[in-house]
C-alpha cells in the first residue's frame, strides 16, 4: 500500500511536531494563555509570582489614562494631542502580547487639547480633555468611525487642577470633577502669607464632584448635581461595584513650608498634607480649603490660611474620614478596583492606585512614582496599604522630577484580569500578569515589597535629618553658611526651581536663563507681581503659575535676586533694595 502523504517516512518529524503542540498547549493551560514576560519585568519590582512585559515602549503624544476592550484592544488618551489625533488605538495581531498596531485618531486641536481620561462603558469609548467629556460608539473595527458626541462641557478655559476623570454608577449616571483653580483659596494664590478667603467663593462651582446623565449630549455644569465637596484636585475617580459607591484619590494642597515657613518646617512641607483615598457618599466633604488631612496624626487640621499652625483643628465634625491617608505629594492619578480572577484572591475588590509622583518634596527625595494596593472588604481597607509595582523611575533616589525615566499614570484591567499601567513621560505601557500559585500566595511573596515600603526613598516617610538631600551641584555648599539671600531662596523659591536652580518639568531653570541674567527691572517685576501664561526659558515652554512675593521686604527681594544672579553658573550684577523699591513704586503708581 502506498503512502501518498509520506507519513511513514516522516513519522519522527510528525511526532516531534505533535510533542511541540502538546507542550505549547500545556504551557498555555499552565500560564492561562498569558504571554511571556520580559526578562527584567520591564524594569519593575513586583510581588512574588507576578511578572510584567512592556507592550508599547513609546507613544507619540505620550499617555494619560487608558482602557482595554473585551477583545483586548487598548485605547489611550494622549497627553498631548496634535492634528493626527488625541487618542491612540492599539492591537496585538500575532498574540505575543506586544501591540503591533498603534493608530492615533480623533483630532482635538480645537476641542481643548490636553488629554485627561479614557473609559469604556456600555459599548462606548468615553474620553476627556481638561474641560470636556466626549463619547464615541465602539465598532468591530479598531478605530471607530462613529460620531464623537460631546457629553459635558465646561464654560471656562483650562486652569490649574482642571481634569475630567470619569466614573459610572449602575443607574446610568456619570461622575466627574471640577477642580479648584487655587492652592488653598488664598487672596493671592500661592503667595507666601496670603490669607484664605472665608467663605471660599471657589466652592460654589469648583472643588467638588458632579453627577450627570451618562448618555445625554451637550450638558453644562448647571445640568449636573454636586455630590461631594472639599477637593482641590482629583485625577483618580472610580465606582466600586462591590458596595455600589463612588471613591476618589485626592491631591492635597502644596507649599505648607514655602508659603508659611514660620508655621511649618521643610520636612513638614515635604510629608504633608496627606493624599487621601476616600469614599464619596452623597454630601461627602474632604475639607479643602479650610482643612488638610495629616496622615501622621490621623486627623484633619486647619490650613494656615485659616489660622492653622499644625495643631489647631477647628470644626471637623462634618468632614469625611479617609480610608487611607498616604504620604504628601504622592500624586495619586488613577484608581482601579480589581474585579478579575487572574490575580490571587486577596486582590479581589481591592484598590490599585497609580502614584504619578511629587514635584515639590525638596529638600527631601521626590516621592511616589509607583503603583500601590489597598486590600479591601465591604468597601473598607482590610489591611495596611502595600507597594505593588515599583521601579518606574529607574533611579534609586529621585532628586528632581526630571530624573524619573517614567511616571505611572493610568490603570486598566484587561478581559483576562491583567493589569495595564501607562506612563506619562514617554507613553510606555506595561502589562502585569500573575503566573504563580494562587493557593500559596502570601507573606513570603509580599516580603520584598514590604521591605521597599520601609526603605525605598520614593516611598517611605523620610527621616527629617538623615534623608535631607545633598543636591547635585551643591555638594560643597554648607547650607548653614549660605547668604541671607540663599536661605530666603531655599525657603520661598527652591520648591519649584530646586536648590540647584535647575527647575523641573513644570518650573523653569535658573542656570543661564535669560530671565535671570537679563534686565533687572523685568526680573524684579516677576518677583513682585508673579507670572501667568506661557514663557520660554532656554528654548522650552512653561505654563505653571509663578506666585507673587510682594510681601517680602525690598532688601529681602534684592538679596534673593542677587543670589540667583550670582549662583548656578550665573555671573550677573547685584540687585539693590533701592532698585526693588523703584520698581515697586512705579508699579503702584500705574
Residue-wise pLDDT for 180-222, tens only, equals: 999 999 999 988 889 999 999 999 999 999 999 999 999 999 9
- The C-alpha torsion from 54 through 400 and 371 to 208, rounded to 10°, is -120
Q: What is the pLDDT of residues 271-301, one digit of tens each?
A: 999 999 999 999 999 999 999 999 999 999 9
Domain boundaries, the chain: 53-455, 479-589
Q: What is the pLDDT of residues 50-64, one digit of tens each?
A: 999 999 999 988 899
pLDDT of 6 higher than 70: no
Task: Quote the mean pLDDT of the chain.
Answer: 90
φ/ψ (deg, to 5) at 241: -70, -30
Average pLDDT over residues 123-150: 95
φ/ψ (deg, to 5) at 153: -130, 150
Query: Which uninterrupted H or E stretch holds 584?
Result: helix 577-589
Confidence of residue 112 (pLDDT cuts 50, 70, 90): low
φ/ψ (deg, to 5) at 208: -160, -175
Pairing of strands 299-302, 324-326: unpaired
pLDDT of 111 higher than 70: no
Confidence of residue 478 (pLDDT cuts 50, 70, 90): low
pLDDT of 485 higher than 70: yes
Reduced to 3 states, what is the DSSP secondary structure of residue 440? helix
Angstrom distance (rounded) from CA 136 to CA 253: 35
pLDDT at 293 (0 to 100)? 98
pLDDT at 481 (0 to 100)? 77
Rg of the chain over Cα atoms, rounded to whole angstroms, equals 26
pLDDT of 532 higher than 80: no
Nearest to 549 by CA among 524, 570, 573: 524
Say which range, 27-31, 399-403, 509-513, has the weakest mean pLDDT: 27-31
The reply to whether CATH 2.120.10.30 applies to domain 53-455 is yes
Confidence of residue 480 (pLDDT cuts 50, 70, 90): low
pLDDT at 45 (0 to 100)? 98
| Cross-strand partners of 165 | none
pLDDT of 330 higher than 50: yes
pLDDT at 415 (0 to 100)? 97
CB count within 10 Å of CB 341 equals 13
Report angle CA 411, 413, 417 to the nearest 5 degrees. 145
Angstrom distance (rounded) from CA 370 to CA 108: 30
Reported pTM = 0.85
φ/ψ (deg, to 5) at 177: -120, 140
pLDDT of 14 higher than 90: no
To the nearest whole percent, how much of the chain has pLDDT over 70?
A: 91
pLDDT at 152 (0 to 100)? 96
Nearest to 55 by CA among 103, 105, 91, 104: 91
| Cβ neighbours of residue 562 closer than 8 Å, sequence gap 6 or more | 485, 574, 575
Angstrom distance (rounded) from CA 434 to CA 348: 13
pLDDT of 11 higher than 70: no
DSSP state of 481: G
Q: Are 94 and 114 in contact (CB under 8 A)?
A: no
To the nearest whole percent, how much of the chain has pLDDT over 90?
A: 73
φ/ψ (deg, to 5) at 141: -80, 150
Cell 512641607 found at? 269
Q: Which of 75-89, 456-470, 489-503 has the highest mean pLDDT?
A: 456-470
Handedness of CA 564, 570, 574, 575 (dihedral sign): negative
DSSP state of 512: T
**Domain covering 479-589, topology:** Cytochrome Bc1 Complex; Chain D, domain 2 (1.10.760)
Q: Are 357 and 348 in contact (CB under 8 A)?
A: no
Diameter over CA atoms, the chain: 112
Say which range, 45-59, 128-142, 479-493, has the weakest mean pLDDT: 479-493
Pairing of strands 148-153, 132-137: antiparallel
Query: Which uninterrupted H or E stretch holds 19?
Result: helix 11-30
Angstrom distance (rounded) from CA 383 to CA 371: 17
Q: What is the pLDDT of residues 461-471, one digit of tens each?
A: 999 999 998 65
Average pLDDT over residues 347-375: 96
Average pLDDT over residues 474-480: 56
Amino acid at each position: 500500500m502506498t503512502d501518498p502523504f509520506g507519513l511513514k517516512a516522516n513519522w519522527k518529524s510528525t511526532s516531534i511536531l505533535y510533542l511541540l503542540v502538546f507542550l505549547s498547549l500545556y504551557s498555555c493551560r499552565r500560564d492561562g494563555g498569558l504571554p511571556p514576560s520580559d526578562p527584567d519585568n520591564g524594569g519593575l519590582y513586583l510581588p512574588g509570582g507576578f511578572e510584567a512585559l512592556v507592550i508599547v515602549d513609546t507613544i507619540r503624544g505620550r499617555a494619560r489614562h487608558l482602557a482595554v476592550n473585551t477583545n483586548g484592544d487598548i485605547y489611550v488618551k494622549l497627553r498631548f494631542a496634535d492634528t493626527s489625533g488625541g487618542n491612540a488605538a492599539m492591537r496585538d495581531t500575532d498574540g505575543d502580547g506586544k501591540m503591533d498596531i498603534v493608530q492615533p485618531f480623533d483630532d482635538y486641536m480645537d476641542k481643548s487639547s490636553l488629554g485627561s481620561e479614557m473609559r469604556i462603558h456600555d459599548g462606548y469609548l468615553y474620553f476627556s480633555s481638561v474641560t470636556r467629556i466626549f463619547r464615541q460608539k465602539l465598532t468591530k473595527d479598531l478605530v471607530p468611525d462613529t460620531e464623537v458626541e460631546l457629553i459635558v462641557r465646561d464654560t471656562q478655559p483650562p486652569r490649574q487642577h482642571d481634569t475630567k476623570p470619569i466614573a459610572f454608577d449602575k443607574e446610568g449616571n456619570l461622575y466627574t470633577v471640577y477642580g479648584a483653580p487655587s492652592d488653598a483659596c488664598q487672596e493671592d494664590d500661592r503667595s507666601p502669607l496670603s490669607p484664605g478667603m472665608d467663605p471660599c467663593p471657589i466652592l460654589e462651582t469648583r472643588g467638588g464632584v458632579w453627577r450627570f446623565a451618562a448618555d445625554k449630549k451637550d450638558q453644562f455644569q448647571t445640568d449636573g448635581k454636586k455630590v461631594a465637596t472639599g477637593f482641590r484636585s482629583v485625577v483618580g475617580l472610580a465606582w466600586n461595584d462591590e458596595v455600589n459607591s463612588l471613591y476618589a484619590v485626592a491631591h492635597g494642597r502644596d507649599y505648607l513650608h514655602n508659603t508659611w515657613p514660620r508655621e511649618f518646617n521643610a520636612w513638614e512641607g515635604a510629608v504633608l498634607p496627606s493624599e487621601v483615598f476616600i469614599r464619596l457618599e452623597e454630601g461627602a466633604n474632604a475639607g479643602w480649603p479650610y482643612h488638610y488631612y495629616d496622615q501622621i496624626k490621623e486627623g484633619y487640621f486647619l490650613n494656615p490660611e485659616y489660622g492653622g499652625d499644625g495643631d489647631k483643628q477647628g470644626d471637623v465634625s462634618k468632614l469625611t474620614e479617609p480610608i487611607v491617608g498616604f504620604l504628601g505629594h504622592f500624586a495619586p492619578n488613577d484608581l482601579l478596583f480589581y474585579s478579575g480572577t487572574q490575580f490571587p484572591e486577596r486582590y479581589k475588590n481591592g484598590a490599585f492606585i497609580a502614584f504619578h509622583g511629587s514635584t515639590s518634596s525638596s529638600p527631601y527625595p521626590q516621592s511616589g512614582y509607583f503603583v500601590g494596593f489597598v486590600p479591601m472588604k465591604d468597601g473598607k481597607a482590610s489591611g495596611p496599604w502595600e507597594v505593588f509595582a515599583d521601579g518606574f523611575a529607574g533611579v534609586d533616589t529621585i532628586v528632581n522630577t526630571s530624573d524619573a525615566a517614567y511616571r505611572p499614570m493610568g490603570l486598566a484591567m484587561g478581559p483576562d484580569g491583567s493589569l495595564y499601567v501607562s506612563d506619562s513621560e514617554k507613553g510606555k505601557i506595561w502589562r502585569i500578569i500573575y503566573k504563580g500559585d494562587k493557593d500559596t500566595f502570601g507573606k513570603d511573596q509580599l516580603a520584598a515589597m514590604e521591605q521597599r515600603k520601609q526603605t525605598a526613598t520614593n516611598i517611605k516617610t523620610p527621616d527629617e535629618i538623615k534623608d535631607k538631600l545633598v543636591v547635585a551641584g551643591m555638594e560643597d555648599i554648607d547650607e548653614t553658611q549660605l547668604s541671607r539671600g540663599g536661605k530666603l531662596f531655599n525657603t520661598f523659591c527652591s520648591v519649584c526651581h530646586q536648590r540647584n536652580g535647575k527647575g523641573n518639568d513644570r518650573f523653569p531653570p535658573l542656570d543661564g536663563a535669560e530671565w535671570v541674567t537679563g534686565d533687572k527691572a523685568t526680573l524684579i517685576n516677576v518677583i513682585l507681581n508673579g507670572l501667568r501664561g506661557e514663557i520660554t526659558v532656554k528654548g522650552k515652554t512653561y505654563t505653571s503659575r509663578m506666585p507673587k512675593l510682594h510681601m517680602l521686604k525690598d532688601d529681602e527681594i534684592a538679596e534673593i535676586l542677587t543670589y540667583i544672579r550670582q549662583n548656578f553658573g550665573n555671573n550677573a550684577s547685584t540687585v539693590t533694595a533701592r532698585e526693588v523699591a523703584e520698581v515697586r513704586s512705579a508699579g503702584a503708581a500705574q
